[in-house]
């Protein structure tokens, strides 16, 4: 771990899908110990950025590193990633997914995961296919947050869950990452997550239009992040 260097470095990061540019020349450093909101309207490039970070897509040009390494085996061992859609097989029981994560990730804290399932009254014997959409999302989030990772990358983690559960989930996220780890979270539900954010990145049509600390937004713009977002992205 290179403590003094930024955790994530994007330099001239660009992704084209055919002739369409989804991400343009992104220069962005993310530090350790920060809770970062990756915010932007539909189609602004959030998932593309997250997939590049996880090595699911290759940059067209430019580069991205996490703890000094390009996405690959090492970064997978330090980045805990929650995709924007279900990825676990429906036939699995909660006990199966816990075993799966224990086998797959050395940093997976089984005891912590079991404790969180208990708090949310999700039985270890439940099969995923019998759970509601929101409960499945909670299951995936618990698994993701039960790793002792350096970076948690959460793509729309709260969209499908009710407002009361959102609070539990945010508190779970806050309580479960260590001081020198960071969280990068994409969402449209800015008002719901604003209280936990340290800084925000606004993407618009594949370009970064703002990277600012939430304190600065409040002090210099005299606005909440939600208000600023509505202004910047007014239709």
Which residues sit at the interface with ligand ATP, rule CB under 6 A?
A: 17, 20, 22, 40, 42-48
* Per-residue b or e along 193-208, where b marks 16 or more CB atoms closer than 10 Å to that residue's CB: bbeebebbbbbeebeb
Smaller CB distance to ligand ATP: residue 40 or 157? Answer: 40
Question: Whole-number minimum distance, CB 51 to ligand ATP, in Å?
Answer: 8
* Per-residue b or e along 100-127, where b marks 16 or more CB atoms closer than 10 Å to that residue's CB: ebeeebeebbeebbbebbeebebeeebe
Sheet holding 61-66, edge to edge: 20-30, 8-17, 61-66
Question: Whole-number minimum distance, CB 65 to ligand ATP, in Å?
Answer: 20
Question: Whole-number minimum distance, CB 199 to ligand ATP, in Å?
Answer: 18
Smaller CB distance to ligand ATP: residue 4 or 19? Answer: 19
Question: Whole-number minimum distance, CB 206 to ligand ATP, in Å?
Answer: 7
Smaller CB distance to ligand ATP: residue 17 or 104? Answer: 17
Smaller CB distance to ligand ATP: residue 8 or 94? Answer: 8
């Amino acid at each position: 771990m290179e403590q003094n260097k930024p955790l994530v470095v994007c330099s001239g990061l660009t992704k084209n899908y055919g002739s369409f540019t989804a991400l343009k020349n992104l220069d962005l450093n993310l530090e350790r110990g920060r809770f970062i909101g990756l915010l932007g309207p539909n189609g602004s490039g959030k998932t593309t950025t997250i997939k590049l970070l996880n090595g699911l897509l290759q940059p067209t040009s430019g580069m991205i590193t996490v703890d000094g390494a390009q996405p690959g085996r090492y970064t997978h061992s330090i980045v805990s990633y929650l995709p924007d859609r279900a990825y676990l097989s429906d036939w699995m029981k909660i006990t199966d997914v816990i075993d799966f994560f224990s086998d797959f990730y050395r940093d997976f804290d089984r005891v912590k995961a079991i404790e969180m399932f208990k708090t949310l009254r999700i039985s270890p014997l439940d099969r995923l296919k019998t759970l509601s959409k929101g409960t499945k999302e909670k299951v995936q989030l618990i698994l993701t947050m039960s790793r002792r990772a350096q970076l948690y990358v959460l793509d729309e983690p709260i969209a499908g869950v009710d407002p009361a559960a959102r609070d539990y989930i945010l508190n779970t996220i806050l309580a479960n990452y260590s001081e020198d780890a960071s969280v990068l979270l994409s969402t449209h539900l800015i008002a719901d997550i604003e209280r936990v954010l340290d800084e925000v990145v606004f993407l618009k049509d594949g370009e970064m239009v703002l990277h600012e600390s939430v304190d600065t937004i409040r002090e210099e713009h005299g606005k909440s992040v939600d208000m600023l977002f509505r202004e910047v992205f007014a239709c």
